[in-house]
Amino acid sequence: MRKIRNYTIAAVLLAVWIFGYVLDSGITNSVLSSGLRFGMPLALAAMVGIMCERSGVINIGIEGTMLLSGFFGFYAGVYTKNVLIGFAAAIIAGITASFLHAMMTIVWKMDQIIAGTIINILASGLTSFLYVAGVTIPNNWPIFDIPVLSKLPLVGESFFSQQGPIQYLGLIFIPFIWIMMYKTRWGLRTRSIGENPGSADTAGVSVIRMRITNVVLGGAIGGLVGGFICLELVGSFSKEFTAGAGFTALALMIFGRWNPLGAFAAAIAFGLAQALSTQLQIFGVQEIPQQFINILPYVFTIAVLAFSAGKVRPPAAAGAPYEKEKA
């Protein structure tokens, strides 16, 4: 049943896409292209959530992880005048923050929501305190076409041309996570410890080690996204720049039913809503007040969650620390 439903949804989406493409390829391409541009950072942030929750750890600290890594990545990049060092610092910051989260939730068995909240408050306080105003980095986000792929019909112009490195990276990375999750040992074990850690433990899989690995790897991705936003997309660090993106990512993860490709599709749709609100502003639609246009993506998030949340089923063990002796 589940499979049939997924295939149906995919088929309908594909049909709409092809229909739009045939009708007016220009508009269809540009809409999808901006959806991808806006949606990809969120899609990657949703991967962080998927890696954590699939292994049984609820991570609401994605927000703080990205904030911290954006901060350290940006200033490291500014003071060393080297963007690559900046990215390295961002990833290290992401790993450190998530390692703290892993220690709190997995080793010390703290409440996972509280641990995530601690990360968020820590990030918000620390970055606001250490914040230095007026520093920027030249915004040198390269936009380029992928040679052969950009010439393909249907997908070429929408997905493989005029995007930045993060979009292309994501297009490789998200299917990669999907393959890892559903086709490899790592994935089978990760999913099993998120559903019933006892079953993995009794089969000789170390639950604690796998969970820590997943949370920390997720933190590295979160670090990359945070660093990307400050170093490339915006070119500066502003206080609370994440503005809820970490939580939006979690919403997309739920909407995508903890499936990397599902979350990706959800993120594209969210990106489309965001692109639409930007377009409406550019065209200067007078009839609708600006504020209403700005909230469009968020209304979208609330709407999809409200309509889908009742039917979804999170990993059964997400949120519960694993206690071996009670197994």
Partner 1 sequence: MILLEIKELTKTFPGVVANEKISIEVNKGEIVALLGENGAGKSTLVKSVFGLVKPDSGTIKIKGDVIEYGDTAAAIAHGVGMVHQHFQLVQVMTVTENIILGDEPRKGAFVSMKSARQEVIDLSNKYGLEVDPDAIVEDLPVGLQQRIEILKALRKDIDLLILDEPTAVLTPQEIDELLSVIKNLAASGVGVLFITHKLREVMAIADRVVVLRNGKLVGTTTPKETDEEGLAQMMVGRNVVLRVEKKPALVKETVLEIKNLSVKDDRNLMAVNDFSIEVHAGEILGIAGVEGNGQRELVEAVCGMRNRVTGSVKILGAESPNLNPHDVRLMGLSNIPEDREKDGLVSTYSIAENMVLNRYDQPPFANRGIRNFSERDKYAEALVKEFDVRTPSFHNLASSLSGGNKQKVVVARELSQDSKVIVASQPTRGVDIGSIEFIHNQLVSARDNGAGVLLVSAELDEILSLSDRIAVMYEGKVVAILNGEGADRQHIGRLMAGLKE
Contact residues for partner 1, defined by CB under 8 A: 183-185, 188-189, 191-192, 195-196, 198-205, 313, 316, 324-325, 327
Q: Which is nearer to partner 1, 164 or 198 (CB)?
A: 198
Q: In whole angstroms, give the CA distance from residue 148 to residue 161.
A: 10
Q: How far is the CB of 167 from partner 1 (least distance, A)?
A: 26
CB atoms within 10 A of CB 264: 27
Q: In whole angstroms, give the CA distance from residue 44 to residue 42.
A: 5
Q: Which is nearer to partner 1, 181 or 221 (CB)?
A: 181
Q: Which is nearer to partner 1, 2 or 81 (CB)?
A: 2
What is the distance, to the nearest Å, from the Cα of residue 314 to the centroid of all Cα atoms in its chain?
Answer: 17
Q: In whole angstroms, give the CA distance from residue 303 to residue 96.
A: 34
Q: How far is the CB of 184 from partner 1 (least distance, A)?
A: 6
Q: How far is the CB of 323 from partner 1 (least distance, A)?
A: 11
Q: How far is the CB of 44 from partner 1 (least distance, A)?
A: 23
CA-to-CA separations, 240 to 30, 114, 124, 197, 225, in angstroms, rounded: 30, 20, 7, 36, 15
CA-closest candidate to residue 218, choices 36, 104, 60: 60
Q: How far is the CB of 173 from partner 1 (least distance, A)?
A: 16
Q: Which is nearer to partner 1, 203 or 282 (CB)?
A: 203
Q: Which two tokens stand for residue 227?
A: 């660093």
Q: Which two tokens stand for residue 326?
A: 């009670």
Q: How far is the CB of 217 from partner 1 (least distance, A)?
A: 17
CA-to-CA separations, 100 to 114, 116, 318, in angstroms, rounded: 13, 10, 18
Please state the three-class secondary structure of 23-45 as a single string. Answer: HCHHHHHHHHHHHHHHHHHHHHH
Q: Which is nearer to partner 1, 206 or 308 (CB)?
A: 206
Q: Which is nearer to partner 1, 124 or 196 (CB)?
A: 196
Q: Which is nearer to partner 1, 188 or 305 (CB)?
A: 188
Q: How far is the CB of 13 from partner 1 (least distance, A)?
A: 25
Q: Which two tokens stand for residue 216?
A: 């920390």
Please enumerate in sequence order all residues whose Cβ is within 8 A of that of 217, keeping only pairs 6 or more positions apart, or say none: 51
Q: Is 163 helix (H, G, I), strand (E, B) or coil?
A: strand
